[in-house]
Amino acid sequence: MQQSSISMGRAAYQHYIPPNFGYVENDLYRCGQPNELNFPFMEKLNLRCIVWLAPEEPNQNVMNFVDDQEIQLHHLGVLESGNASDPITEDMILEAFNLILDKQNHPMAIMCNIGRHRTGTVVGCLRKLQRWNLASIFEEYRRFAGPKVRLLNEQFIELFDTDLVRIPVDPPEWL
């Protein structure tokens, strides 16, 4: 059976978008680690900053892309234990928010290896700061996490104290 040109076009186009790519807010994106096929798409975002949440460094191709595009990379994912399955910390979230809420860093992307758990937790905490209801926050988290939902991350989002976040004098319009 022959596949329609529309579905073939979508399949081909998806190879150019990084895994778990999503629009969070104006000039704020989320995704997993991009590969060489994703770089032309990523270039169009005109990123100034990437918040990298994985414990390990991005691969060399990503590092080369960041250098070529003159993007600031902030590696926040380093954990004391070095265990990639350790949950994200409150300090990591607050450090990420210092970058995310600074309009000078935009356009920016929030990333981890696959763009599911650490990225989803940061975005979930941002949604809580934006006063989204928990059902909507968890729906968004689960949409990106797929079958690998981590209840500890949802609990972290639910218990995250937004009063700890320093809001800048001139925050992004979406806050």
Parallel, antiparallel or unpaired: strands 28-32 and 108-112: parallel
| Residue 84, domain member (yes or no) | yes
Query: Residue 118 sits in which domain range?
Result: 18-164
| Residue 64, domain member (yes or no) | yes
Per-residue confidence (pLDDT) for residue 6, from 0 to 100: 46
The CATH number assigned to the domain holding 65 equals 3.90.190.10
Predicted model pTM: 0.86
Per-residue confidence (pLDDT) for residue 142, from 0 to 100: 94
Residue range 118-124: average pLDDT?
Answer: 96
| Residue 24, domain member (yes or no) | yes
* 131-168: pLDDT as tens digits: 999 999 999 999 999 888 888 899 999 999 999 999 99
Q: Which of 31, 49, 112, 125 is catalytic?
A: 112
| Residue 50, domain member (yes or no) | yes
Total number of domains in the chain: 1
| Residue 55, domain member (yes or no) | yes
pLDDT surpassing 50 at residue 54: yes
Annotation marks residue 112 as catalytic: yes
| Residue 4, domain member (yes or no) | no
| Residue 78, domain member (yes or no) | yes
Measured CA to CA, the distance from residue 93 to residue 121 in angstroms comes to 8
